[in-house]
Each structure stands twice: as structure tokens, then as C-alpha cells.
Structure 1
């Protein structure tokens, strides 16, 4: 249970009513990274509740360096059992002051103008009806300067429509606002509460399977169908590259990640994921084991005696340590992450990590002795890759999910030794296995 949920159960009042006289209702201020200029900005979090509605988390970010700002509203509760639809008949300017909570999954429509803000196109907001209209106007006017230069006809039509939206704030004629939220977490204020508002109609409905899919939830029947098709889906994953949308870890721009399920001969299945960002050019790849943690750890020792050993396939999981005793080198399990490459590719990655990308040998603060030692290490790695210096490459993986190709398979490899061992308590602790219980559960009768 989260801290917020614990406080809600105890009734200590984490979520406060907004009041200028209540010091406890002041926002929490924290430092956070600005994704526009990568300098430190300020985020303000306010846990509040809307009367006759529910609790909300209001966040506001501002950056003093580049003046970038952003506001967002998130529902503090769960997705409701039913969706909700608010239909408000706006008849006076007082209606423009009604508080409106619009979640990410809500759509907003004004039928008189044939205008709609689709779901998942805006972040959640806590505003008034007038603020909702102003936000729509600013969104339409955002790229008008470019449109006027490239497509004057479209820009003229948008200006005309923006004028109609602005006239709505004068309420010269009545219009209707419809907010439809399948998650049930949107809200339009009733100023007459707890009495009924004749101009506001609130209706609840059961979500369709498509709406459940958009919210990331499914019913029991859909779950059963998914279990029935698991085998065919797994076979499909083996034969094609799957792609899904994500955000770039460098610039946070929309990017795509490709995922492929690969069967390694004489080993197991692994999942290879590669992300490519068209905005900043950032590329990254990662390998995940397709199976569970093995009962025993694996220690693979390969004696590199010939340049042909550099072409052996190699899988280094993210829990694997790499050792080269002859060079007195050890690489921890957290470094380099999971990789499916060759022996040569792993050695080059080690050289780049230690020499090329090492922050301690860059800039004026780097000492000459340290720089010379690391450069000498890089030369030794080059000698190993060329075959001039025989060494032992050891992969020690407590999870047992690493692999080095046996070029003599199915016969034994005279230059490679594979050992299985029982993990220590500390290794199980690092893997999170000591507190994991998957057996011995008993079914409990709910009535008792």
C-alpha cells in the first residue's frame, strides 16, 4: 500500500481542500530536471480534493533558465467501474467559471461548432470552462505563423474557427459542452450542489471492450481468449519483428522500439530490443533473457588463443560479470547491460567503456598517470583482439542466463570450460530471490 493510500485509510487528511487560510494545503516544492534545456527546474505538487468529487494530484513545472512551464492533473484514485459523460448547457457567463477536471482519457465536444478534442491528445487539466476554451484556442494558434507562410487557405480557415471559439466566451447564444471519459475520472462542477443542476446532465455507462483496451484493462473473457492464443502468439513473435512506440531516453521525443525473439542454438530464447530516435539520432539496444532465472549459476571460462575466437557468438546478460585475469580486469554486472554480440564486440565495448567514454581521463582535471595506464590497457585489449596476447575471458552469471558459442558443438570445446555452481546468499539477495515465494500457497475461502 502506498503512503497516500495509508494516509487515506487512517483519515489523516493528506488531500486538503484548497484554501488560502490553510497552511497545510500549500504545495510541495521539489527540484526536477527540465526536459527542454536539461537544467534544474521546480515542480510543485498539490494533493487536493474537489468537493462532491474525488482526490486529485495537481503538478506544475517551471524552469527559470528557459522559462518552459507545464501543468498536469492526475487522478489519485483508480479507474472507476463505469465511464461518465457530462453534458453542460452553457447559458450565461457564470457558467464559464465552473471548475472542469479533464483527464487524459476524456474527450471534449462542442456540437454547435462540430468541434472535438479527442481522448489522449492532451494531458489532464484542472481548469474552468473558460480555461478549457482558451487552451483549445492556444493549441490551434500554435503554428499559425508557419501555416500562413506555407498554406494560407488552411490558416485562414483556422483563424475563422478560432474566432468562433472566442465568441463562445461572450455567451451571446447558448451552446453545449460534452465531456465523455471512459475512466470515470473527469468532472464538471455543480455550483448548486448538493441540489440538482438543471443545466448539467451526468450519465454513467458501461465501457466497451475497445474502451477497456484504450485504458489498458481487459475483462475476464478477453483474458481467457488471450490465454488460449498464447501458443500462436509466441510462434508469431519468433517469426517477425514487433515494433511499439516509446520515448527517446535522451530527448524524450517519440521514438520506436523493435523487438525480436531469437532462439540461440544449444541455449535458450532471448529477446533483443533496439530503440532508434529520428529526432536526436540516439540509438540503443538491449538483450533480455526469454526464460526464468536458472536454479544454478554459470561460470564460463574461454581461453582465447586464436583470432578466430573473436567471431564466437556471445550473450552477456545484465546480471553477468566479466573477468580477464591476465589483465587484472573485472567488470561488474551492472556495466554494459545485456548484450548479444561476439567476443570481439564485447572486448571493443569494454575498451570504449574504460578508455573512450571514461570521464576521469577527459578535461583538465585528468591526471597524466591515470590516462597513461588506461591508454596502456586499451592497447592490451587491441593485442587480445588481434590474437597476439592469449588470455582467459570469464563470464560469471549468478542467474545462469549468459552464453558463449561452442564452435565444436555438439562435442565438447577444449578451450572452453562451463561450470555450474550454487549461488551464495548474497548473490540471491542481489537477484531478489531471498524474499521471493512462488510455492506453498494455500487457497483461502473468502467467506472465512
Structure 2
């Protein structure tokens, strides 16, 4: 890509992620290597920087520059492991602020604008940090690249492309709202929420289970799939044998990748079901993870649980949030996706405290990239959570689990009490798709 193409207004808007750091601050963290220039064939310099994007994850920024021909290129790659599921992000673009949203896309992200019947296939562009406007600008530049030659050789085609380019320009002036869809099988794409931590009503994020072919595209091969599906043989552990026992197995730390151990215990929640509690502690970096998984599979119906929090009595309720459960506090306009806190077995007070701690420690609000408005909004929001924990504010906590594996303890011996509402519902096709149930084969297996 030409040097002048990297200096568009929209791509400059992505700079605030680390723009307050000076070159001297970044220099010790930057790795420089010699690389071959694809334009002139001579050696240039590639600079690598590991950084963290607010609300997202660690990424590797790569910048190449050739001093011989002036060629420049910038790419972004995921600095962690591939996500367990793919992600689909549907954004309604209605204001200039939406055009300015920071967007992270991987190599495996396809982009679709249904309004124009326009699609950018996956793996046709390198991963990058840009904005919604930047994506439109890049598409315009790509279409304009050979227009002069087309006007001479294929004038009719050139007229059609000019007409389409004018439609892309109209998107930037927002003559009417439009929808843009990002689908990434690696699960490593992200669209900024300018109202964080308040729910982003214009952005819908869903996760899907990858197919075997999509796993192969990512280089994931499960050679032992057949072995995993074999029934338990005589002499192996059964659920009855391991219940109450703590089992350990080797794994790698998700932060530093050092060898460590995960402890696992099967336990039973009274009046509910069996669950598996998993805990990992890395002695190298001190990283801790606690995770809860259902021991009974997916329920026939989803469950929606509403608990009204009025005081200390409600804080003591046992609470199980599965890894497929969304949480919501309508009074604060707060919505927590299933991946934010993972699976947890705690209390109502514990889950609200976990939300507060995660927001308080987020670099998005405490780091150099945070702006005054975002910081102020976050302080106000955390103050509201503290009011709830102090019993000064009555709110409703809603757990919505399509897998039906979440639970809140009742304070009554005869079913739900007057401040607890449990509703079971039939899952939609989309929810079954996200859980991987639509393609599941259960007959003649």
C-alpha cells in the first residue's frame, strides 16, 4: 500500500489508543527486524509492538517501512490464542460518532453492507485497526485504483463502478442509516462501544461454533475427535467415582504460557444439578482463573431469572452463572455478555462485586488512552454499583441463559420467593445455532 494511503483522516482517528505515549516511551518496547520489501525487493525495517486495546485484548502491531522506495504497510495480529467461537458483529450506523468507532479486524473477517449488497470476503485484506469510516475509505480507494484504465477499455463497467463509489461516499454523509456486518471465524474482531460500560443498543454481538472446515482454515485440527467420543471403558473414572474428589491435570497459563496445573472438582448444588469447578494458579506470573461448567449438559429449555435486590438478605443468595449466560441490571442500563465473567458459582453480592472490580481495573478507564468524559462516566457508574452493595439502591438482576444452566437460590422452601422470578422458554433458532444444537446429530450415531 502506498505511503500516502496510510494517512487518511479516518485511520488517524484510531491513533488515540496509544497516542499519548511519546516515541521514547514506546522505543524500549518496540522490536525491529529487517524484512524484504515486496515493492523493490530491498531490505526494509519492520517494527513490532505488543499492546492492549481497551475492552479487547493483547494485539501485535506491525509497521513496515522501506527507506529505498518509501513503501509502508501496517498490520495487526492477535497477541493471544484463537477464541473458542467465531463472532458476528452487527452495527447500526446512524451518527458521525458511529463512523468514528474504532474497529479491529483480523485476517479472517468478512465485511458486509446489505444495503448496497456489498461484501469484502475474509482473507482478502490484512488485519488492521481502523474506523468504520476508514473501512469505507479503503473500499473507495480500491475501486478507484484502476478507473482511468477502465474508462478507456471498459467504459460501461467504469460508469457502474463510479455509481457504486458515489453510494459509498453517501454512506459517509449519512443520508440514511445503514447496517454493517462483521463476521470473523477466529473470534478476534471488535467494535468500540463509545457508551461503555452502558449497553450498546446499536451493536449486536453473537457467537457461533465453527465448522470443521472453518477450524481447518485457522489451522486447528482435532486428530483425536474419535477418541474423545468413545464411551467410558471399564476401569476408567465415572462421575460417581470422581464426585467430591479434586483432580489435577497439566495445562498452560493463558497469560504467560508457562506450564501449570488446573484443579477440577465435581460438586452438587442442592435443588439444581451437578457442576464442575475448575481453578488454575500459575506460579510463574501469579495469574488465577476460576471457572464453573455445567456437569449435566444443555437443558431442553432456556431460563430467565429475575431477582429483586432489596438488602443484605438478597446478597446472600447462591448464584450460578454459566458460560452461556447474559446478565443485566436494567436500572443502570448495564448488560454483561457471557464471555465477560465466564462461568461462576458465587453469591448475588459476589457477582456484583466482580463486575465492579473488572470495571475498576480496566485499562480502558485508567490508562493513558482514557478520555475525561469516559473516566467521569465510569466513576459515576462504579459509584452506583457501590450504592447497590451498600444497600442504598434497589435494583433488579436478570440472568438470561439459553442453555438453562444458571441458577439463583430461593429464600423460600416452597419454590421461588416473592422477589425471585424464574421463567423457562423455548430457544430461538439463532440461540440453538449459537449453542451448536442445530447441526447436532443425536440419532443413529
TM-score range (shorter-chain normalised) is: 0.3 to 0.5
Could you say which structure has the greater relative contact order, defined with CA pairs below 8 angstroms and 6 or more residues apart?
A: 2
Tell which structure's C-alpha radius of gyration is larger: 1
| TM, length-normalised to structure 1 | 0.47
